[in-house]
Structure 1
Amino acid sequence: MHHVYNGIAATELHGVVWQKSRHSNSQGSCVEFAKLASGDVAVRNSRHPEGPALVYTPAEIESMIIGVKAGEFDHLVAGA
């Protein structure tokens, strides 16, 4: 695989398995995650699977998940 960078076309990430939450809505408005061979994590919009993927370190993803679990982003959800 060639160099992976932020904003890489998701189609350039060969052999990855994309995963979305089982709580995703039926219209396909989801964020999908894929673990890369380097250990980094790619994130893409499921409505645009060929579009850009943003790449984060495991530490960045861990910080985000901890914040989500702690409710730090609840104000971003409609109706919250």
Structure 2
Amino acid sequence: MLKTYNGMPAAELHGARWQKSRRSNSQGNCVEMAELPGGSVAMRNSRHPEGPALIYTRPEIEALILGAKDGDFDHLIGSN
């Protein structure tokens, strides 16, 4: 089994099924995520699919997603 680590090339995560948000725009400006064996989650920049992947634990991803749902990061997006 491949040892995963933060910053490893996303291309080395063979079999990862990358998913992007339905809110992604047509210019490809999005983050993609993939569940890995053992329950961790990888994240990569869709514009650089061969580039580095960040590897998170399930609790870390849960905190991120729930914080986003709660509006904790709303200040990071442009106001429309």
TM-score range, shorter chain: over 0.9
Q: Which amino acid aligns with 1:62?
A: E
Q: Which amino acid aligns with 1:79?
A: S
- Do residues 32 (structure 1) and 32 (structure 2) align? yes
What is residue 4 of structure 1 aligned with on the other side?
4
What is residue 20 of structure 1 aligned with on the other side?
20
Q: Which amino acid aligns with 2:68?
A: V
Secondary structure of 1:53's partner? strand
Sequence identity (%): 64
Q: Count matched residues.
A: 80
Q: Which amino acid aligns with 1:47?
A: R
Cα RMSD for the two superposed structures: 0.9
TM-score normalised according to structure 1 size: 0.96
State the shift of 1:2 in Å. 1.8
**Unmatched segments (≥5 aa) in structure 2:** none
- The 4+ residue runs of structure 1 with deviation greater than 4 A are none
